[in-house]
Amino acid sequence: MQLSHRFAEQLPELCHAVKPFPVKAPRVAMLNKSLANELGVSTECLKGEYLFSLLFNDTHNPAIKSVAQKYGGHQFGQWNPHLGDGRGVLLGELKTPKGTFVDLHLKGSGQTPYSRHADGRAVLRSSIREYLASEALHKLNIPTSRALCLIASEEPLKRDFMESAAMIIRTCPSHIRFGHFEYFFHSKQWDLLDQLFDYCFTYYFQTCTRKDKPYLAMLTDICQRTGHMIACWQAYGFNHGVMNTDNMSIHGITFDYGPYTFLDDYIPGYICNKSDHTGRYAFDKQASIALWNLNALAHAFSSKLNIDELKKALATFEPSFLQHYRYLMQQRLGLNTNDTASSSACINGFLALLRDEAADYHLSFLYLTEHLLDIEKGEVDEFAKHFKNSDAFSEWALKYKSVLLNGKADWHTIQNSMYQVNPRYVLRNHFMQEAINRAETGDFTYCDSLFKAVSQPTLFKPEFEIFSKAPKQNQKGIALSCSS
């Protein structure tokens, strides 16, 4: 596993050299073989003592030039300059068989200069949640970081209660956040900010350098990518829970998983983070918060762009978000993407019905898919019986039928396409809690089954049907916090 160290070598003043610190009795508990294959990494490199030698023997690559990055961030709307990689290190950049580069980052690696008196560790609970969620989102075509492997240990950690330490190796195009640019802008370190811009142009925004206004092109690209990502979150009922600017990637990928959730009941104002006392990061506020964060990032471009140019870039977020959200929802409902007015009415009507009775978000799309041919025949009762207000859903189904008829598409073809985009297996919190409970006893079989199910979310498999069930009332609303 040979890595380059572009960030560490070219931007040494933006990071600090730190070696990973080994955990007690480490073992590779989960291994993402599919991702390893995509990255051209032999699974033998990721097993047992060989991997731990690579990580914890600082004479070996990749740990030889590992660094913790410095950045700041707006946390719950308040500027905090005292941030950085407090419990993880960038190991380096790996060249894939396709010729692209990805970061390898070890999360939970121990104290760094930015740990702020914390132990620099991650617990098994949060590591499992990130490992599972990043792959679940990837398989739903939601831009995201991914996890290559999960390392469990026997090292105890004190959080709200005693837990065990764990690590994951995370991959993504880079770990550069909005907060990187914000920090060097607000601290008035203009030379370092310029170095960061130049680095990003060289490796991530090469096409922008060929535009008349490269900085405008870069900010516009980030705005549009972010709009695309948020559209995916909203369409698939994903609530990130802690959209601080230090958790926002310049690549428009889902990043830094904390107290996230996939909605159970469709409650637009749902707040998944019990630390979010004002509901700043509620599900239905994610688009507006993303734009707020982009405005915070835009300040770091203000020495390169005038106010009109900043506004021009920021104005591209909303069209990007709305266009992709409408496209995804049209796909989920099998609607003709050319008939915007009719399809929008169908989408809004369906969501209003789900909201009014807090219906299960994911199963509602699945019920619609399964009963599509009944609706074609005018037999809407089987679909409507899944809902409390069956009359309202029957009325909507008849209107929906008329819109599909106007599209003149084959109903079997529509149903097959809907099966491809409406997940059967969803990473719900009660499934994850069960996986965590078992893993804490050393049993990762449930984790592995859940991982396999959400890696094939639309493919019916009898052995995974347990993961297609709605939660019981006492399994909903599991309290989540930023503790990790």
Which pLDDT value is given to residue 7? 98
For residue 477, pLDDT over 90 is answered with: no
pLDDT score for 61: 64
pLDDT at 296 over 90: yes
Per-residue pLDDT tens over the stretch 415-469: 999 999 999 999 999 999 999 999 999 999 999 999 999 999 999 999 999 999 9
- C-alpha 82/C-alpha 152 separation (Å) is 29
Q: Mean of the pLDDT values across residues 373-400?
A: 95
Closest to 334 measured CA to CA, from 460, 398, 395, 420: 420
Residue 48 has what pLDDT?
Answer: 82
Catalytic residue list contains 264:
no
Average pLDDT over residues 198-208: 98
| One-letter identity of residue 210 | R
Query: What tens digit of pLDDT does each residue of 218-231 get?
Result: 999 999 999 999 99
Q: How confident is the model at residue 208 (pLDDT cuts 50, 70, 90)?
A: very high
- Mean of pLDDT values over 389-404: 95
21 has pLDDT over 80: yes
Supply the pLDDT for residue 60. Answer: 64
pLDDT at 165: 97
Distance CA 43, CA 324 (A): 36
The C-alpha atoms of residue 15 and residue 348 are separated, in whole angstroms, by 47
Residue 314's H or E segment, with its range, is helix 307-314
The mean per-residue pLDDT over the stretch 269-284 comes to 96
The answer to whether the annotation marks 239 as part of a ligand binding site is no
**170 annotated ligand-binding residue:** yes
CA distance 91 to 105: 5
> Is residue 409 pLDDT above 80, yes or no?
no
For residue 468, the 8-state DSSP code is: G
Can you tell me which residue has the tokens 């996890």? 147
> Is residue 378 predicted with pLDDT exceeding 60?
yes
Q: For position 1, what pLDDT does the model report?
A: 73
Q: How confident is the model at residue 474 (pLDDT cuts 50, 70, 90)?
A: very high
| Residue 119 assigned to a binding site | yes
Tell me if 352 sits within 8 A of 377, measured CB to CB: no
> What mean pLDDT, rounded, does the chain reach?
95
Per-residue pLDDT at 250 exceeds 70: yes
Average pLDDT, stretch 364-385? 96
Q: What's the CA gap between 248 and 172, in Å, rounded?
A: 13
Question: Within 13 Å, how many C-alpha atoms sit on residue 441's CB side?
Answer: 8
- Which percentage of the chain shows pLDDT scores above 90? 91
Active-site hit among 246, 265, 276, 360? 246
Q: What is the mean pLDDT of residues 28-47?
A: 94
Q: Say whether 428 counts as a known binding-site residue.
A: no
**pLDDT given at position 200:** 98
381 is in an annotated binding site: no
pLDDT above 60 (res 484): no
Residue 27 counted as an annotated binding residue: no
Is the whole-model pTM more than 0.95?
yes
Residues 123, 159 contacting (CB under 8 angstroms) = yes
380: closest CA among 393, 361, 365? 393
Over residues 103-140, the pLDDT tens digits come to: 999 999 999 999 988 999 999 999 999 999 999 999 99
Burial 287-305 (b: 16+ CB within 10 A, else e): bebbbebbebbbebbeebb
What's the pLDDT tens digit per position in 50-103? 899 889 886 666 678 999 999 999 999 999 999 999 999 999 999 999 999 999
SS3 34: helix
The strand pairing partners of 90, in sequence order, are 67, 105
Distance from the Cα of residue 88 to its chain's centroid: 18
Q: Which of 52-56, 269-273, 314-318, 405-409 has the lowest mean pLDDT?
A: 405-409
